[in-house]
């Protein structure tokens, strides 16, 4: 009986080991399949960007050679030099930088101030007003396009308008029209308000006991604790404004006010066959967003992760 028991125990152990080995092999198989799908997806998404970089350092003849060459045979940076020699190119980048930085700074201030008010201040109608603000996120931008255009056109005392907003073009074809409508974001207010839930109210009460006013508490107590969320929102805003094409296309008509995306579009229309210069310009236009993401990647991930836990 003892021998039979030992044999049964040994058999059971071997069966358990085989099952465990089979489970591990199946788990490894699923992981390998998952990694293969992810690697294929990464290659699909990276391929256009990689080809853009490769084409930007090739001559026009090498770009359209067959089979295509992913590694340039005779790389040259002459495309970049020729691109920057085109008219108003430097102005496009300065305009985009000015607009993107201005909108980002304004949104960081106004969105954080509104988020602080909604989360840490008590006033009648706070929750209904916040829900109404959130409801604006459900309205597509195309719906508000014409009303926003008309409002900018009839801003009083700007662009040749009189006190009643008649007679001129208002904020159309100006930096005001690019910056002012984007200075506040309902999404940014919501993002920062969710993060501010983690700021203990006891810190605010202690600051009030020390004699700090509401704005000082917001500026010196709340904002320093919200840096990860502010960094995340700043990257989102800067990226969106730098890449924005549709709104500048609608309101800008002067060449000296073109942003880089609008300028590249007009450059493509004027130079349909000079694709090597177009690729060089596209690479340069992508670099600021890529650099901003790499510099603030840690803050971006931390801000999104912590905000998602609130």
68, part of any domain? no
Residues sharing a CB contact under 8 Å with residue 284, sequence separation 6 or more, in sequence order: 80, 83, 93
Q: Do both 127 and 258 map to the same domain?
A: yes
Distance in angstroms (rounded) separating the CA atoms of residues 97 and 232 = 18
Number of neighbouring beta carbons within 10 Å of residue 254: 8
One domain for residues 138 and 200: yes
pLDDT in the model for residue 3: 47
Element (H, E) at 243: helix 227-243
pTM for the whole thing?
0.81
Q: Based on the domain organization, do 204 and 239 belong to the same domain? A: yes
Q: Rounded to an integer, what distance in angstroms lies between the CA atom of residue 271 and that of residue 265?
A: 10
135 and 204 fall within a common domain: yes
Of 132, 174, 177, 175, which Cα lies nearest the Cα of 150? 177
DSSP track, 14-37: HHHHHHHHHHHHHHHHHHHHHHHH
Distance in angstroms (rounded) separating the CA atoms of residues 178 and 102: 10
Peptide bond into 67 cis (omega under 30): yes
The number of distinct structural domains making up the chain is: 2
Q: Which pair of tokens denotes residue 196?
A: 């501010």
Same domain, 193 and 126: yes
**Residue 66 domain-assigned (yes or no):** no
What are the pLDDT digits (tens) for 136-171? 988 888 888 999 999 999 999 998 899 988 999 999
In this prediction, residue 129 carries a pLDDT of 93
> According to the model, what pLDDT value does residue 19 have?
65
User: In this structure, what token pair is assigned to residue 235?
Assistant: 């990257």
Residue 223 domain-assigned?
yes
Tokens of 87: 């008219």
Q: What is the distance between the alpha carbons of residues 225 and 204, in angstroms, rounded to a whole number?
A: 12
State whether 10 and 107 are in the same domain: no
Residue-range definition of the domain harbouring residue 223: 78-308
Please check whether residue 65 lies inside any domain of the structure: no
Residues 84, 49 within the same domain: no
Domain containing residue 164: CATH number = 1.10.3720.10
Report CA-CA distances (Å) from 183 to 238, 239, 240: 12, 14, 13
Q: Indicate if 230 and 279 belong to the same structural domain.
A: yes
Indicate whether 69 belongs to any domain: no
Residues 82, 44: one domain?
Answer: no
Together in a domain, 120 and 41 = no
262 and 183, same structural domain? yes
Asked if residue 61 is part of any domain, the answer here is no
Residue ranges of the chain with per-residue pLDDT less than 70: 1-23, 25, 273, 299-310
Is 72 a domain residue? no
Q: 225 with 270, same domain?
A: yes
Q: Which residue is listed with tokens 């039979």?
A: 4
């Amino acid at each position: 009986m003892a021998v039979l028991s030992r044999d049964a125990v040994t058999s059971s152990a071997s069966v358990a080991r085989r099952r465990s080995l089979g489970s591990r092999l199946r788990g490894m198989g699923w992981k390998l399949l998952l990694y293969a799908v992810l690697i294929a997806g990464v290659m699909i998404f990276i391929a256009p960007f990689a080809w853009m970089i490769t084409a930007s350092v090739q001559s026009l003849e090498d770009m359209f050679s067959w089979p295509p060459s992913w590694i340039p045979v005779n790389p040259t940076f002459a495309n970049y030099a020729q691109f920057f020699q085109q008219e108003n190119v430097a102005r496009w980048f300065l305009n985009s930088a000015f607009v993107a930085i201005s909108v980002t700074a304004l949104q960081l201030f106004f969105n954080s101030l509104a988020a602080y008010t909604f989360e840490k201040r008590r006033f009648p109608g706070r929750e209904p007003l916040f829900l109404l603000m959130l409801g604006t996120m459900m309205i597509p931008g195309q719906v508000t396009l014409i009303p926003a255009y008309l409002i900018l056109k009839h801003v009083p005392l700007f662009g040749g308008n009189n006190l009643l907003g008649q007679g001129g073009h208002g904020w159309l074809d100006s930096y005001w029209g690019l910056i002012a409508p984007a200075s506040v974001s309902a999404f940014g207010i919501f993002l920062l308000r969710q993060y501010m839930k983690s700021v203990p109210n006891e810190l605010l009460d202690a600051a009030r006991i020390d004699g700090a006013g509401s704005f000082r508490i917001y500026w010196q107590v709340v904002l320093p604790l919200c840096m990860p969320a502010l960094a995340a929102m700043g990257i989102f805003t800067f990226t969106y404004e730098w890449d924005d094409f549709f709104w500048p296309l609608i309101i800008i008509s002067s060449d000296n006010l073109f942003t880089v995306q609008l300028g590249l579009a007009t450059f493509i229309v004027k130079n349909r066959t000079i694709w090597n210069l177009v690729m060089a310009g596209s690479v340069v236009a992508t670099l600021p967003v890529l650099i901003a993401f790499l510099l603030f990647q840690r803050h971006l991930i931390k801000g999104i992760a912590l905000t998602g836990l609130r």
